[in-house]
Structure 1
Amino acid sequence: MRPDDWHLTEDIDDFLARAGDFLRSRPALHNTPLTDIERLRTRGAGAPGTEGTFFGRLESEGEVRAICYRTPRGYLGLTPLSAEQAGTLTTHLAALGYSPSGVIADHDTATAFAEAWQRGTGAAPVPFWRTHLYRLGTLTPPLPRPEGRGRVAGEQDHEQVVRWCREFCVAVGESVTIDLIDADAWADTRFADKHFTFWETPDGVPVSMAGSTSMVGGMVRVDPVSTPAPFRGRGYAGAVTVEVSRAALTAGATDVVLFADPANPTSNALYQRIGYVRVADFTGYKFS
């Protein structure tokens, strides 16, 4: 594998024309690149929030084998790579003067790239994010079902959605998004283009919330799932997750996925009880 097997461009339409089929070939594993790149595409080249982005594809024997992309905040997103492929990418990026602030990918890929980048540049990788990826198998609503119903959030619910998303970020330590929400820059957060559903008690009080992405390549990602502390332990999170998962299937999704914090055994056990199957682990590194 040679560094010049990587082809980089800032033209998102050209990139998708060449690599779109590859991304859609494994929608669950590629869920984050699919949603990130679609969001950049809909914003349009040069729009606020798209600065500094580029897209790369690894080709061999006329086939796309992997992709990379740089987000506006400087992180490099990758689909699965071997250690050799990660090494050639670091060589190529360094030669072009690119310096990502970090990398996010499946655990083995992110670690291989981080180690290769450290060898080549001396920048020490610091892990900041670890998660399990789950894909929905057979949806199995939990029993007993809590009283209440699901309700799609509307414009009148915006303040509550923003507040609960911020509380979710505080709980999981997602400092970048917390800062954006505090600065009243909701449109720049990863939540702004998602669809939200509440679980409400019979008297109409929202007690849990789940978000979901728009469908891309047949894939919908459930994110976030948040229940305020006073309402936990009553089955509301499971009920609202089932609600948005079923809605995704009804809309025609072939892959419904979600991420779960490895340090939270309660949520991991819940997702498995309702039919989600763990398929991979993901890691993010920051570079010093």
Structure 2
Amino acid sequence: MNWSKRSRQRKLTRVKVYRYQDANQFYDRVKDYLLTDEALHNVQLRLCHSLIHNPESFEEKPLLATVEVEGDILAVAMRTPPRNLLLSKIQDFRAIEAIAQNLHLTENSLPGVTAPTNEAKAFAETWRSLTSQSYEMKMALRAFQLKQVEKISQATGQLRQATECDRELLIDWFEAFGVEALGIALTNTERAVERHLQRGTAYLWENETSVSMACHVGITPNGAAISLVYTPPEHRGKGYASSCVAALSQTLLSRGHKYCFLFTDLANPTSNHIYQAIGYQSVGDLYDCSFFRE
């Protein structure tokens, strides 16, 4: 059968949604699909790893679903309440209608959706037509991937792993990051700091005193992700964040990870510039959309 004929037949085939109760079975099913664009899907891959290895971190049952036709995955959907719905890159936009209809049977409302740009727009419109929930684009994001750290002018100081003595500082900086970078007051900040201290994944740039922060927030089969990059206002403009992220990226690559990943807010030209100078390359854009009732 030639490709065009198969394609026409697939368009006539009913799209099906499959939900999974077991994170291991779900990961086995979606791993290869997500790895076709590992950088863009690094949140989903990291989330799978956490659900399998640290299920106690999640207070509510996750939503794990695929949209398929004739055994081929068209889309992957995930949600760990109270967070947004996460959608993968989608091969066939019939999957948007299918997952929205399926969710509408079990969810009275959603807080939002995070997905590649076109997928986020399409789902938000479909969800609005089903539920009368309006939406707004909360943040335009860009996904970045790094294979090799470029040499930059290093700021004075050095990277060090955060310790128990830094607990209060980390709580303050986590909260400040949430307000400044995300526009929200983060919940369970103390619990998040506790996890990072236990796992040794919070790092500080030290120049006589702590001046910048970056955290290793999870792994994928081939990479490691960085987030929670924060420098307090009085220490900005001195290259601390660049040096902190560059040093942490190199640390993670030296441990055997092939890539490092991070996301930036497209409205922040400074962060987009400094990460590219370090060696991060753009791999795609996403929207973070919020839903609300008027």
TM-score range, shorter chain: 0.7 to 0.9
TM-score by length of 2: 0.85
1:265 to 263, 269, 273: 269
Separation in structure 2 between the aligned mates of residue 76 and residue 190 of structure 1, nearest angstrom? 24
Shift of 1:37: 2.8
2-structure distance, mates of 1:194, 1:213 = 11
Q: How many pairs align?
A: 280
TM-score by length of 1: 0.87
By how many angstroms is 1:257 displaced?
Answer: 1.2
Structure 2 stretches of 5 or more lacking a match?
Answer: 1-10
In terms of mean alpha carbon deviation, does 57-66 or 184-193 score higher? 184-193
Deviation at 1:21, TM superposition (A): 2.8
Distance in 2, Cα, partners of 1:102 & 1:189: 26
- Per the alignment, residue 121 of structure 2 pairs with 111
Q: Which residue of 2 aligns with 1:180?
A: 188
User: Residue 88 in 1 paired to residue 88 in 2?
Assistant: no
Query: How far did residue 192 of structure 1 move?
Result: 8.6
Pair 95,26 (structure 1): closer, same or farther in 2 beyond 3 Å: same
Change (3 A) 1:37 1:50: farther
Q: 1:57 to 1:272 in 2, by over 3 A?
A: same
Query: Mean Cα displacement is larger for which, 273-282 or 165-174?
Result: 165-174
SS at match of 2:276: helix
Task: Please tell me whether the aligned partners of residues 162 and 200 of structure 2 are also in contact (alpha carbons under 8 angstroms).
Answer: no
CA distance in 1, matches of 2:220, 2:271: 25
The aligned amino acid for 1:5 is K
SS at match of 2:288: strand
Give unpaired runs (5+ residues) of structure 1: none
Give runs of aligned pairs for residues 145-184 of structure 1, distance below 5 A: 145-177=154-186, 179-181=187-189, 184=190
Q: Distance in 1 between matches of 2:236 and 2:192?
A: 26
> What CA distance in whole angstroms lies between the structure 2 residues aligned with 1:242 and 1:64?
36
CA distance in 2, matches of 1:98, 1:16: 27
- Contact 1:70–1:100, Cα closer than 8 Å, also in 2: no
CA deviations on 1:11-63 (whole Å, 9 max, x unpaired) are 2222122222323342211111112232233333xx47341422001223433
Q: Paired residue for 2:215?
A: 211
Instruction: Say whether the 8 Å CA contact 1:149–1:199 is kept in structure 2.
Output: yes
The residue identity in structure 1 corresponding to 2:264 is: A
Answer yes or no: is the 8 Å Cα contact 1:128–1:286 preserved in 2. Answer: yes
**3-state DSSP class of the match of 1:36?**
helix
Which residue number corresponds to residue 9 of structure 1? 20
For residue 210 of structure 1, report the CA deviation from its aligned partner.
0.9
Task: Kindly state the Cα deviation for residue 254 of structure 1 after the two structures are TM-superposed.
Answer: 2.0
